[in-house]
Every structure is written in structure tokens, then in C-alpha cells.
Chain A
């Protein structure tokens, strides 16, 4: 594609390459630094004297006898029972993604196939709901949930996350179903299927690419949520992100900040693996809404 004239080195192209390299460093360095530092002791990771200590682990050598230590991870996972929070996050995420995709595919399909005005109004309402700051909704939940005695348990949080997820899921799947030709399910209905049978036998087999992309974003929303899980779960049902926040309060003691660092790294690893496998779907999902308008 690029002709010789275009790929000539100009000041502008040098500048743009430098800029990209700079961005790559800014985007990745904090993660590499923290991941490396999580295997050191606090005296190295927060080293006033010399920042190279964090790389070579001078204090770690003195305190533990090796340049790498698992102390932070041990403290977080075993002593502070981070594994319990990981388990809770797993439950919340799996159920939230499954339920919100089920609801979302049904609703998104209906919206894509209905030309009536109320379909448009539902989409508009969803857009407004999408913009609501989550904390304003949470302040509406607390009193009723206390009254009905359903505060603090995982099912409540799951259904709330599903609902918060719906506006986005609907928009995404709606635009995805618009791209599946109408003729497909309509010809099935001409052949005598009901609307639901047409959906079941014709649409479901071809919808998976869109559903997987949407599911990734539902996963991210449930996994990354802090506001809802922090406010709606009791201490023993806590998920990872509120747990990390509670470390901050309790770990001002020497050495324990490293628990939080280790927990942060543990919580980030699944996300990095996710990007590795699904980079293409994430990119296409981000642009889906945009390019189609």
C-alpha cells in the first residue's frame, strides 16, 4: 500500500513514532513496575534511598535471604483470605454474565426487529439509564434492601449488576442483530415457525460472535465494579475489589502494604490474559457502536 514517497522519513513521521513509543511506555510501565515490585519487601518497593532497590531487591535480600519473596502473596491470599474474595468474584461474574446475556439477547433481538415507536423509546431510556452514575442508584437500593432483609448477599448483587448491565448489553446486541438479515428469521416464519422457534433455530446458531463480544464487556463491568459490590455486600461476601480497598485501611502497618500490592497484581492477571485471547473482539466491540453511528 505505502508508496516510496509516503514511507519517506520526515520529521513528522519521526515525531509520530516517538509519540507512540512514549505512549506504549506510559501505558505499560506502571504494570510492569508493580508486578515486579510485588515480589519485593516494602522497603524496596517504596524505597526512599534509591529507586534501583526495587529492581535489584537489596532490602529483600537482607530481610528474606533471596531477591524474590512471596511474602506479599502469602499474606494476602492465606493470612487475609483473599481467596475467599476471588471465589465470590467468580460466582458474581459467572452469574451476571450469563443472566445479562440471556436477557440482553432476547431484548436486543426484539428491539432490532420491531419498527414501532416504543422500541425507539426503550432504546432512548436505556441510553439515559446508561449515563446514571452507579452510586446514585445504590443510594436508592440501600433502604429497601435493608427493609426486605436482602442486603449483603450475593444474589442481590448479581441481579443489580445484571440490571445495570442491561442498557449497554441492549444497545450492543441491538446493533448486532440489525446486521443479521431479516430474511433469515422471516423465511423461517413463513415456513411455519413461531417467532420464538425462528429465534431458537435460526438466530441462535448465528449470533455467537456478537454475544461473545458483548459478554466480554459484561464480564469487565461485573469484574471491575467497585461501587455496587462495596455498598451491597456484607464483609464475608466481599468480592475482590472492595477487599483490596479494605486492605488499604488496615494495612498501614509496616509490611502489609505489600499485601495490597500482591492482591492488585493478582486481580490484574486475569484481565491481561483476557486481552491476550480476546483482543480482536474487544477492539471490534469498542468500535461497534461508533462506526455504525
Chain B
């Protein structure tokens, strides 16, 4: 294709991506270097019969004018990145020198909001992804062995948890595990403990969110593996069978290696999607026990009356760096493949 016609064909989509994806990232980077104006304070002295009083008031007009003049706020350099709410170098250093053991250091580290959110996000990502891979393969193999008439309906039902809106899916589960909901109430009966609540304990909340994550991502890996199973070469399977391999051995030595590229594909998509976990935390109202990086950005942005753009920007940039770090191996691999192909 000629450069010229390529340009015209790609123009709409490219300009949409540049304007609304690339530029916002730049804008976030700039925002993160600024912080909100301090309020303009006026000290007035009011003298009455009992002597003079100094009162400090906020000059709203002057503050608004300042805001108008410099909507970004005042320049702060990398200050926002290093403050307590983000990378918190000073606090980490203090924790390092004050703590006696590694576990002590980590418990201090988790008191800092950014590291707390990072810990949840990483735990969620790296627990959900392997579970989704293994269980998805198991379901795919199971469905593949079903009689044909059951396959369609099973796939239909399986698609539900993934297709449904994340916020809505999480809400549906949340209502069931509520203290008065069907699962919550049943658990209370089983353990005979009317105060048992899945929502009040940090580790239970984490487990609940992870269970939701697995429930909602499982269909994706199931469908992809199921499609992959249809392409397993039957010659190899038969040869293995003639050689006396059991079903299980055929599974491990023929099917799994054949599906390896799909494992890479699913892990890539899952890492990207799970790293931005956000909606379930809103639905489960879990912010007291679990926060993700996306959630703390959201929280900065909805801060009533006074959104913390600088702080949100800094967290966003750190999150983007995290995503880039996760994607690095894939990008390098694709780059090598491309070079091999073109030479």
C-alpha cells in the first residue's frame, strides 16, 4: 500500500488514539508535577470593646482568581512522587532503619497507602491469573468430553460471568455474601456465629475479591482453551494411545504442550486486565480492607469539591510504569519475531 493512501486510511483511528490516549498520558505526566494551590489567607484584625482579635479567613475570591490564572496549580516538581501518599522514600527509609526483621519492615511498608494498594493489586493479579489458567483448562477438557447436545448450553451459561458488566456481576455476588444474603446467612448458620461477616475481615475480603476475579475471568480462558482443544492433532493423540499412554499422560504430554501458545496469550490478557482491577472494589464496598492502584486514583479524583489532580496524576504515572514493566517481556518477544520475519 502506498504511504499516501495508508495515511488517509489510518488517519481517523490514529488521531483518535493520539488525542484521547497518548495526549492524556502526557497531560497526566504534566499534572503530576503540580499540586493544588494553597488557599489565600487573609488576616483581619477586629477590635472590639474587649481588645483586638486576629482572625484568619480564606479569601475565596483571591483563591478562585489564582485557580483561574493557573488551573494546574503550583509547580511541585517530583515532590508529589516522593510524598507519603506515593513512593514515600523518607518513610520507607525510616521503616528500613527502624525495623528489626523483614516481616516487620513489610508490615510497616503496608501502612503506606501506595504500597498497600500495590500489594493488593499484585496479589490479585498473580493469584487470579494462574487459577484462571488451570481451572479454565479443566473446564475446557470437561466440556470437550460432553455429548454434543450439552456443549452449546454449557458454553452459553459459561459466558455469563464474563459478559455481564463487572460492576453488576460483582454486585450480584456481593448481595449473596451479605450477612443477610443467601450465602452469608447460610455460612452464619453453619458456623453458628451470627456476627460472622465476610465483609469485616481483611483477609476474607481479599479472598472474596479474588474469588470474584476468578469467577469473572474463567469463561475467557475456558473458551480459548476449548477452541484450542479442537485443533489438537488427532494423529499424535492416536500415536500416544497406541504407545500405551493413559488419558492423563496424553493430557500432560500432548495436549498441554500443544496449548502452550494459548497459555501465553491468556496470561498476557489476564495480566493487563487484572492489573487494573477496580469495579469489584466499588461493588463490594471493600475500600476499608482492599484498595487497588486504580481505586486510589479514582478516590483522588472524586475527592469532594477539591479533586487532587496532582496526586492522581502521580499514581497514574506509577501505574503506567507498572503496566509497561509487565508488558516488557511480550514486547521484546514480538520485536524479535518481527525482526526475524523481516530479515
Contact = CB atoms under 8 A, between A and B. Distances in A.
Nearest to B2: A195
A115 B338 CA distance: 11
Interface string A131-149: 1111111111111101100
Interface in A106-128: 106-107, 109-111, 113-117, 119-120, 122, 124-128
A272 B71 CA distance: 45
B12 interface: yes
A131 B271 CA distance: 9
A241 interface: yes
Interface stretch (B24-32, B41-49, B52-60, B90-98): B24-32
A16 B138 CA distance: 8
Nearest to A194: B5
A47 B188 CA distance: 12
Given A144-B27, A196-B5, A276-B156, A286 B223 contact: yes
Bin the interface of chain A by size.
Answer: 35 or more
A276 B224 CA distance: 19
A110 B182 contact: no
Interface residues of B, number: 108
Interface string A270-293: 011011100100110011011101
Contacts of A138: 301
A231 interface: yes
A20 B17 contact: no
A56 interface: no
A211 interface: no
Contact of B161 (A27, A140, A194, A226): A27
Contacts of B218: 23
Given A129-B21, A159-B16, A143 B309 contact: yes
Given A16-B141, A19-B142, A143-B309, A170 B323 contact: no
Contacts of A126: 17
Interface of B: 1-3, 5-6, 8-10, 12-14, 16-17, 19-28, 31, 71-72, 138-139, 141-143, 145-146, 152, 154-161, 163-169, 171-173, 175-176, 178-182, 185-186, 215, 218-220, 223-224, 227-228, 231, 247-248, 261-262, 265-266, 272, 275-276, 278-279, 282, 285, 293-294, 297-298, 300-302, 307, 309, 312-313, 316-317, 319-320, 323-324, 326-327, 330-331, 334-335, 338, 342
Q: 6 closest Cβ contacts across the A-B interface? A: A140-B24, A163-B20, A107-B13, A110-B9, A133-B276, A46-B180
Given A136-B25, A224-B165, A286-B227, 16 more contacts: A12-B247, A16-B138, A17-B142, A17-B145, A20-B143, A23-B218, A103-B12, A116-B6, A125-B17, A138-B301, A140-B26, A195-B5, A195-B9, A224-B164, A282-B163, A293-B261
Interface of A: 10, 12-13, 16-17, 19-20, 23-24, 26-28, 30-31, 33-34, 45-48, 51, 54, 102-104, 106-107, 109-111, 113-117, 119-120, 122, 124-144, 146-147, 159-160, 162-164, 166-167, 169-170, 194-196, 199, 220, 223-224, 226-227, 231, 241, 244-245, 248, 260-261, 264, 267-268, 271-272, 274-276, 279, 282-283, 286-287, 289-291, 293
